[in-house]
């Protein structure tokens, strides 16, 4: 099963990569195009095709997971017939509508390689498999959220400018933009996390917002992929509100880029199946231990630990978990009333009678 799923995932990524090579104006992210080493990407794609084809062929020869392996082999064959890693990239129009196939491929490969390794090295629940229950649902959430990155960036940027453009003050923006990097980075994280804290708290305390956020909390197992389970409307609302202070205060591009790296890492790491505690720093920085409690069904953890980066915000506002136990026992929504499956979870906030 492991080799079959690995071959299938690589086969899917290779076929999507070929599609991106054929139609880069529609399937690649403009911000990433400028940073590509195309020769390296072609080599990686060739290696992935060989590995996927080899694993699936061996499985079929030994009569293991035949349908899974046959599907993976078929995808590799179609990719090869479509030009594979040798598809030429000619001049193309810029500024076209796009979906982020390339961003999804790179982030999935990078996140899986890094965090699966970390989870195996520092596993909290050692018996939890990589392909734990409901991983398919979270993988679909991961894919959809990444593919729609262009649409979400367009909408959030429009909303931020329309709703918060009035709050921009040139003098303040100039002062903030001139701050040293070492000062600006923790400041941008604090500004974003203050908004995120109260937004997150509202998702728990306002019933119609909880309908959206319950989807995220419905994951019953914590790992690097679990954080991807989010309703699209929640993503749009949260990103718009969190980007507001970043835009209005005028942080420099270098600081914003560093913040994106920090928030991207913490969003995955804090959901990961890893046993990491930070000693006294746990009162300052959000860690997997801190955020796992937020996802717990344990009574003492309900509606607690809202911060995404700075744990001291919860201690300051009186919402930090206090428990004698080291780790929570059960994850998910109390009552387990959120259905499984991406489509059902997308419809859930609009049809739930609770």
* CA 62 from centre of chain: 36
- The pair of structure tokens assigned to 167 is 């709050």
Q: Taken in order 306, 310, 311, 313, is the CA torsion positive or negative?
A: negative
Q: Cα separation of 119 and 235, whole Å?
A: 26
230 within 8 A of 216, measured Cβ to Cβ:
yes
Q: Cα separation of 225 and 264, whole Å?
A: 12
Q: How confident is the model at residue 96 (pLDDT cuts 50, 70, 90)?
A: confident
Q: Cα separation of 332 and 221, whole Å?
A: 8
User: What is the share, in percent, of the chain residues with pLDDT greater than 70?
Assistant: 100
Q: What is the mean pLDDT of residues 159-168?
A: 86
Tens-place pLDDT, residues 290-325: 999 999 999 999 999 999 999 999 999 999 998 889
- The pair of structure tokens assigned to 238 is 């949260």
- The pair of structure tokens assigned to 120 is 């195996």
pLDDT of residue 94: 82
Tens-place pLDDT, residues 44-87: 999 999 999 999 999 999 888 888 889 999 999 999 999 999 99
- The pair of structure tokens assigned to 33 is 């195009």
pLDDT mean across residues, the chain = 92
Helix H, strand E, coil C: the string for 211-231 is HHHHHHHCCCCCCCCHHHCCC
pLDDT of residue 169: 83
Identify which has the larger pLDDT, 200 or 41: 200
Q: Cα separation of 349 and 209, whole Å?
A: 9
Residue with tokens 């599907």: 71
pLDDT of residue 171: 87
Q: How confident is the model at residue 103 (pLDDT cuts 50, 70, 90)?
A: confident
191 within 8 A of 255, measured Cβ to Cβ:
no
Q: Cα separation of 204 and 207, whole Å?
A: 7
227 within 8 A of 265, measured Cβ to Cβ:
no
């Amino acid at each position: 099963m492991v080799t079959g799923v690995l071959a299938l995932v690589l086969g899917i990524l290779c076929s999507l990569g070929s599609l991106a090579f054929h139609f880069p104006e529609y399937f690649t992210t403009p911000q990433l195009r400028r940073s590509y080493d195309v020769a390296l990407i072609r080599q990686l794609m060739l290696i992935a095709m060989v590995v996927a084809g080899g694993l699936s062929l061996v499985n079929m020869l030994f009569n293991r997971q035949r349908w899974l392996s046959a599907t993976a082999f078929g995808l590799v064959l179609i990719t090869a017939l479509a030009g594979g890693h040798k598809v030429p990239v000619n001049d193309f129009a810029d500024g076209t509508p796009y979906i982020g196939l390339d961003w999804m491929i790179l982030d999935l490969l990078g996140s899986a390689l890094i965090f699966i390794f970390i989870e195996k090295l520092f596993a909290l629940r050692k018996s939890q498999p990589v392909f734990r229950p409901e991983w398919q649902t979270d993988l679909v959430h991961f894919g959809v959220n990444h593919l729609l990155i262009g649409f979400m960036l367009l909408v959030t940027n429009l909303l931020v400018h329309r709703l918060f453009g009035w709050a921009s003050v040139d003098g303040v923006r100039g002062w903030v933009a001139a701050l040293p990097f070492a000062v600006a980075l923790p400041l941008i994280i604090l500004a974003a996390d203050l908004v995120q804290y109260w937004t997150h708290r509202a998702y728990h305390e306002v019933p119609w917002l909880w309908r959206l956020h319950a989807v995220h909390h419905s994951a019953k197992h914590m790992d690097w992929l679990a954080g991807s389970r989010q309703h699209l409307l929640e993503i749009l609302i949260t990103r718009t509100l969190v980007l507001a202070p970043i835009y209005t205060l005028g942080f420099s591009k270098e600081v914003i880029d560093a913040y994106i790296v920090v928030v991207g890492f913490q969003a995955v790491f804090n959901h990961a199946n890893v046993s990491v505690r930070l000693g006294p720093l746990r009162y300052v920085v959000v860690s997997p231990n801190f955020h796992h409690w937020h996802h717990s069904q344990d009574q003492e953890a309900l509606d607690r630990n809202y911060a995404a980066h700075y744990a001291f915000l919860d201690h300051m506002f009186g919402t930090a978990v206090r428990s004698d136990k080291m780790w929570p026992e059960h994850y998910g929504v109390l009552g387990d009333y959120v259905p499984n499956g991406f489509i059902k979870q997308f419809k859930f906030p609009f049809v739930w009678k609770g």
